[in-house]
Amino acid sequence: MKEYKRVLTIAGSDSGGGAGIQADLKTFSACGCFGTSAITAITAQNTLGVRAIHSVPVEILQAQVLAVIEDIGVDAIKIGMLHSAELIAAVAVVLREADVENIVLDPVMVATSGDPLIEESAVDAMKKLLFPLVKVITPNIPEAEILLGQKIEGEDLAQVAQALAEEFSVSVLAKAGHQQGDLFVDVLYSSVTEKITRFPTTRVDTQNTHGTGCSLSSAIASFLARGEDLETAIASASQYLHGALVAGAEYKIGAGHGPVHHFYRFW
């Protein structure tokens, strides 16, 4: 019998379908994996912004994760929106028991619209409880600023990635999407090899960028599940996301930041 490559997303639900759990599951499928999910929060949002956030009870979140791991199993895990310190602690407990190697953490803190998606107390909990358990974190510039506690203005992202990696003992993919220019370069600093790897990408002229961070981290988890090493998985994920952005730019959906086209390779 054939076996799927299995990827679990632990993240919030996006009613608009462009980010969160919905984007993760689409990405897993598009990248050749079987996706499962544990919902951390329900959000009311669309392309214009986030209207409300309702956290899932801790025991329900833990039950979702355990139900998936104990029966279906996982080859990789992507962690996205964790709204509160309580939820972060609950996820950390389950992950320590699960002993999964391929865990990608997207430290979701601010939506594309600028709306905050995390409580202040949750940032410290994330640093202390989750960072030691994961293979790589994927902060964008605003998230890196929150994690470092300082503004990032003109710094080489390699320095940012290295500073985060050394402070928290975790590999860091610092994302350049908030920088200006036609070419931007995401930078990986590996805490294992102490090596810097750059991933250049040409900018796509589009406002359909909702869920790009979710989709990239989910693609990385997918390619890790398929057996690629971290650097190769990031390169594969970057190529996938760029294609999704290019294809998504041709569509109009909603009045704000629309989604990328996750299934551009198929239709």
Answer yes or no: are the C-beta atoms of 189 and 137 closer than 8 Å.
Answer: no
- Indicate the SS3 state at residue 239: helix
Catalytic residues: 175, 209, 211-214
Main-chain dihedrals φ then ψ at residue 246, nearest 5 degrees: -60, -50
Q: Which residue has the tokens 């989604």?
A: 259
Name which of 7, 239, 31, 232 is nearest 247 in CA terms. Answer: 239
Angle 166-105-206 (CA atoms, 0-180°, nearest 5)?
110
Quote the CA–CA distance of 125 and 236 in Å, as a whole number: 31
Answer yes or no: are the C-beta atoms of 247 and 264 closer than 8 Å.
Answer: yes
